[in-house]
Amino acid sequence: MTEMVYGAVPAQRGEPILPKWWRTLDKWSMTCVLILSGIGLLLGLAASPPLASRNGFDPFHYVERQAVFGTLALAAMLLTSMMSPVLVRRLAVLGFLGAFAALALLPVLGTDFGKGAVRWYSLGFASVQPSEFMKPVFIVVAAWMLAASQQINGPPGKLWSALLCMTIVGMLVMQPDFGQASLVLFGWGVMYFVAGAPMLLMVGMAGAVVLGGTVAYSASEHFARRIDGFLTPEVDPTTQLGYATNAIREGGLFGVGVGEGQVKWSLPDAHTDFIIAVAAEEYGLILVMIIIALYASIVVRSLLRLMRERDPFIRLAGTGLACIFGVQAMINMGVAVRLLPAKGMTLPFVSYGGSSLIAGGIAVGMLLAFTRTRPQGEIGEILRGRG
């Protein structure tokens, strides 16, 4: 318990892998992830039986699949968290090449499953969404480039990472998948800012984003429909946003009771994009606040630990991973309460979805690997020593 409150003890040389991993791990963040996974299964028990019934499956078909995917995600998280930052970077480069190729081939081999956006590969027994895996590996690769650019006579990593980011964003917009494109751009922008980007350049990037949004609104019916639905003063009660808004209102502080919610019978995406509406209706604001606190704890603790890190690559990669993890959760919940336009984005470790769960496990595993305690001086001491 002392280690969980005051931080882990730096590892000793020659120590076995498992004791070393446990001693240096951010146990609070890992515990928060495990609790979120448990909440996801609990909400899956409530949200998925109606969908299973409509599709002719057993009542707990989707819950069982979520348990399998969740187990794989946690296994990926634990294995990745045991790796050294160098090994994480090397595997991320290989993963990036694979994810980039998968994104490039989506227009030819992908499918939209009738949702109007070609984002998935159908494997028959399951589907794979490459963009989910692209996010964490791109963040690590971009952080590597940005860190390399800070070295004396280093490569133009900032330019390379910017070109790579724009290429990936363009590929995602073509699907179209504006939500994932926004996350990739946001993650890169945060790292670019932390790496020392001029403020004038950041303002220019913000202007470019606004211009891009205006063009997308004019050129994409899919994008324009979602923006118009968000800006409309009155919410159509027969839409997903209407059902979700009403469910949150009905839940109140303590909810209507376990299994008593009605929104799951109306929302086709109750187990994925709008899982927070099920939580709010059946368990009330109390559970929603607990979920928010869990996400906030992971992000804040990770950023605090990264502030003590001297390696620029680890600091940048960890910051990017922590920020896209927190922002994805914020976007999902913001859509449900109509603070943001619909994005089609899952709630990490809580929503159903094989690709999102496993990719989320890899991303958090990378974050845990980067935030492990290493024998080093505090960055403040390094800066004072240079003075």
User: Between these two residues, 327 and 219, which has the higher pLDDT value?
Assistant: 327
- Integer Cα distance of 282 and 382 in angstroms: 51
User: How high is the pLDDT of residue 168?
Assistant: 95
Name residue, tokens 């969404």. 129
User: How high is the pLDDT of residue 54?
Assistant: 82
Question: How many other β-carbons are positioned within 10 Å of the β-carbon of residue 241?
Answer: 23
User: How high is the pLDDT of residue 35?
Assistant: 96
Mean pLDDT, the chain, integer: 84
User: How high is the pLDDT of residue 225?
Assistant: 67
Question: What are the CA-CA distances from residue 122 to residues 126, 131, 220, 252, 264 (Å)?
Answer: 6, 14, 25, 40, 26
Whether the CB-CB separation of 33 and 19 falls below 8 Å is answered with: no
Mean pLDDT of 52-74: 89
Query: Which of 73-94 are b and which e, b meaning 16 or more Cβ less than 10 Å from the residue's Cβ?
Result: bbebbeebbbbebeebbebbee
User: How high is the pLDDT of residue 60?
Assistant: 85
- Integer Cα distance of 46 and 48 in angstroms: 6
Whether the CB-CB separation of 319 and 299 falls below 8 Å is answered with: no
pLDDT of 8 over the 70 cut: no
Question: How many other β-carbons are positioned within 10 Å of the β-carbon of residue 286?
Answer: 15
The torsion angles phi and psi of 3, rounded to 5 degrees, stand at: -65, -35
pTM here? 0.88
pLDDT of 292 over the 70 cut: yes
127 sits in which H/E element? strand 127-128
User: How high is the pLDDT of residue 2?
Assistant: 45
Mean pLDDT of 372-377: 73
Amino acid identity at 85: P
Question: What are the CA-CA distances from residue 329 to residues 104, 154, 294, 300, 360 (Å)?
Answer: 27, 36, 11, 14, 11
Alpha helices of the chain — where are they, by DSSP H?
A: 2-6, 17-24, 27-54, 61-81, 85-109, 130-149, 157-173, 178-194, 199-219, 221-231, 240-251, 275-306, 312-336, 354-370, 379-386
- Domain ranges in the chain? 18-373
User: Between these two residues, 84 and 48, which has the higher pLDDT value?
Assistant: 84
Report pLDDT digits (tens) over 108-162: 888 877 676 788 888 877 788 999 999 999 999 999 999 999 888 888 889 899 9
pLDDT band at 210 (very low <50, low <70, confident <90, very high): confident
- The percent of residues above 70 in pLDDT, for the chain, comes to 87
User: How high is the pLDDT of residue 1?
Assistant: 44
User: How high is the pLDDT of residue 376?
Assistant: 61
- Integer Cα distance of 235 and 339 in angstroms: 13
